[in-house]
Each structure stands twice: as C-alpha cells, then as structure tokens.
C-alpha cells in the first residue's frame, strides 16, 4: 500500500506518541516526524478524520462530515504522507502490544512513503546478532523476537555489540564483523551513561587496529569510571535496550542516523540528554597508514 491506495474502507490510526492541540482555527500536531500546523478549512476537515482515526473506524464513516469521499481520501493521504496517521493494515502482520506497536509506528513513519508498504516484510526478514553484555542483550531479545526478527542466524544483517569493563570478546566480534556483510552497532556502558557508536556499515573502511586500539586511545581524552550494567537499575537497562533495539531495526531498514556513522554519541539514561559527539579516529589510523 502507498498513500494513493487509501480508500474509504481504510482503517486509520494516529500513532500513540502523537499529541494534538487546537489554537483558534489551527491544529498543531506534534508527532513522530515533527510538528505540523493545520490551518483554515483543512484543519476542520482534518480534525474530523483525526478524531475517527482509532484503528477501528473505516474512513467511509467520516465521509458525511467531510462532504464527499474523494475529499476525505485526499486529506487522509496527505496526513499519511506527513506521518500524522497510517492505515492499520501496514502493521497488521505484527501481533504485538501497544508498547511494541509504538516502536513500530515510529520506524514505519520514519521511512519514505514509497518504502512503507514493504515495512512489515523487511522487519521480519531482518536478522540481528546480539553480542557482549548478556543483561542488555536480553533487554533487546524480547522486543525483537516479539516483532518477528530472527536472532539465531549465524550471518546476521545487524550485529549489536554491548561492551562493559568485563567484556572480553571485543576482538572476536570485530573479526566477525570484518568477515561479514553486517552493520555493526557498538555501545559502551559507563554508569548511567551509554556511549553508542560508531555504527559501521559493510562498506565502512576500518581495521582491527581502528576498532580496538584506536577506540582505547579515544578513551584517554576523558576518563570515566566503569560500572557494569548488572549493578545498574532495571530502568537503565530497559532504556538502553530500547535505544539499541531501535538502532538495530533502523540499521536493518537502511535508515541509520547519519550523525552516528563513524561517531560516538553519549547520552544519559536518567536525563535522556545527549552530549556532544566525539569522532572516532577511523579510518586512516597509524596502523592503516603504515600498511599502505
């Protein structure tokens, strides 16, 4: 389905994370894809559709309030293209609770409208490998399995590596990535802080020296005390798991945030605040230059 295939039989839904407010003749919609203001007559007609977009009411029931079917479909298509609502059949293949549905909604509407029809099949065909800290790995396992991703493929599309002070398999994971066609999502746990990055795609130019020694050199710029995630709160573990689940799925959908490619970004699990990103020195490390 694409936007032009919305019909009067379509059942539409406003994502769970969307907020709407009315200001005089305008409607301000704050949702997954940003904030949009609907003004004038379009605001009134859109409001009729949005109010009925509960995932169960077919669009035809709103037609009398709109005036005619063609206008209702056109407005619904525009709202769908803007990421304000979506046809529920796009997520029907997923039998998930509301929490997981919110994650899927944000991923679906983050795609270009032409890519949304294949969303369910792409997610359920994605294979993800979990490495490193087992506590966080389990926080990822439940939602990924719930939406149908495979976690047992020996050659996954995405590798998620969660590192703590006690992690001992870094070099092994790096070698596995270098020998694969996977995207590598790296995360380091430091107390309540999680460092994510770099995200390395199959075409990334890197070597074992870049991925290990160079990363350790980067640490020398700011010394922080490690604390195993095992001693952290369940809340912190869950939050870290949610962020990494989203990134793993974005990688599987080829929608990696550009600011995380080749960078380390730090954010705090408690405050949700991002701090400045630090560029990881890859490629072009001394080892690479020496081997040219």
Q: Which domains does the chain have, with CATH numbers?
A: 3-90 (3.90.930.60), 126-290 (3.40.50.720)
What pLDDT score was predicted for residue 292? 41
What pLDDT score was predicted for residue 156? 95
SS3 82: coil
Rg (CA), the chain: 22
What pLDDT score was predicted for residue 129? 95
Task: Give pLDDT tens digits along the chain (292 positions).
Answer: 444 479 999 999 998 878 888 887 788 888 777 788 888 777 888 888 999 999 999 999 999 988 889 999 999 999 999 889 999 999 999 988 888 898 899 899 989 999 999 999 999 999 999 998 888 888 889 889 999 999 989 999 999 998 876 666 777 888 888 888 999 988 887 666 777 877 888 877 665 555 655 454 444 333 333 333 344 566 667 777 888 899 999 999 988 877 777 666 666 666 666 665 544 444 444 444 544 4
What pLDDT score was predicted for residue 145? 92
Contact 58, 8 (CB under 8 A): yes
What pLDDT score was predicted for residue 150? 92
What pLDDT score was predicted for residue 121? 94
SS3 52: helix
Contact 79, 43 (CB under 8 A): no
What pLDDT score was predicted for residue 13? 94
* C-alpha to C-alpha distance for 2 and 19, rounded to whole angstroms: 24
Q: What are the backbone angles phi and psi of residue 257, rounded to the nearest 5°?
A: -60, 125
Contact 42, 27 (CB under 8 A): no
What pLDDT score was predicted for residue 282? 42
What is the number of other CB atoms lying within 10 angstroms of the CB of residue 192?
A: 17
What pLDDT score was predicted for residue 231? 44
Q: How far apart are the first and last CA of the chain?
A: 50
| Element containing residue 29 per DSSP (H, E) | strand 26-31
Nearest alpha-carbon partner for 61 in 51, 29, 4, 80:
51
CA angle 93–99–274, rounded 5-degree value: 120
Burial classification of residue 25, based on how many CB atoms lie within 10 Å of its CB (0-12 exposed, 13-18 middle, 19 or more buried): exposed
What pLDDT score was predicted for residue 69? 92
Q: Give the ranges where the chain is alpha helix by DSSP (H).
A: 40-52, 63-66, 69-81, 98-109, 119-125, 134-146, 170-178, 208-211, 213-219, 234-252, 286-290
| Element containing residue 232 per DSSP (H, E) | none
What is the number of other CB atoms lying within 10 angstroms of the CB of residue 167?
A: 16
Contact 73, 87 (CB under 8 A): no
Burial classification of residue 88, based on how many CB atoms lie within 10 Å of its CB (0-12 exposed, 13-18 middle, 19 or more buried): middle
């Amino acid at each position: 389905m694409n936007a032009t295939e919305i019909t009067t039989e379509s059942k539409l839904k406003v994502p769970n994370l969307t907020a709407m407010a009315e200001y005089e003749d305008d409607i301000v919609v704050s949702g997954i894809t940003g904030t949009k203001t609907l003004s004038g007559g379009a605001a009134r007609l859109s409001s009729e559709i949005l109010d009925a977009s509960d995932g169960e009411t077919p669009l035809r029931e709103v037609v009398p309030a709109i005036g005619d079917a063609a206008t209702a479909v056109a407005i619904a298509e525009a709202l769908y293209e803007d990421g304000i609502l979506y046809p529920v059949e796009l997520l029907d293949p997923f039998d998930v609770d509301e929490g997981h549905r919110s994650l899927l909604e944000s991923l679906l509407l983050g795609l270009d409208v032409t890519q949304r029809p294949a969303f369910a099949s792409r997610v359920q065909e994605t294979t993800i490998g979990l490495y490193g800290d087992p506590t966080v790995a389990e926080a990822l396992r439940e939602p990924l399995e719930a939406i149908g991703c495979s976690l047992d493929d020996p050659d996954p599309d995405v590798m998620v590596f969660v590192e703590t002070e006690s992690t001992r398999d870094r070099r092994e994971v790096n070698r596995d990535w270098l020998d694969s066609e996977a995207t590598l999502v790296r995360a380091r746990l430091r107390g309540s802080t999680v460092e994510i990055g770099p995200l390395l795609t199959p075409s990334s130019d890197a070597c074992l020296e870049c991925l290990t020694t160079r990363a350790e050199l980067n640490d020398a710029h700011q010394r922080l005390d490690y604390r195993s995630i095992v001693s952290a709160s369940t809340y912190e573990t869950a939050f870290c798991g949610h962020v990494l689940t989203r990134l793993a799925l974005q990688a599987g959908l080829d929608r990696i945030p550009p600011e995380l490619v080749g960078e380390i970004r730090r954010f705090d699990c408690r405050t949700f605040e991002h701090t400045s990103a630090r560029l990881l020195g890859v490629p072009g490390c001394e080892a690479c230059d020496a081997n040219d």
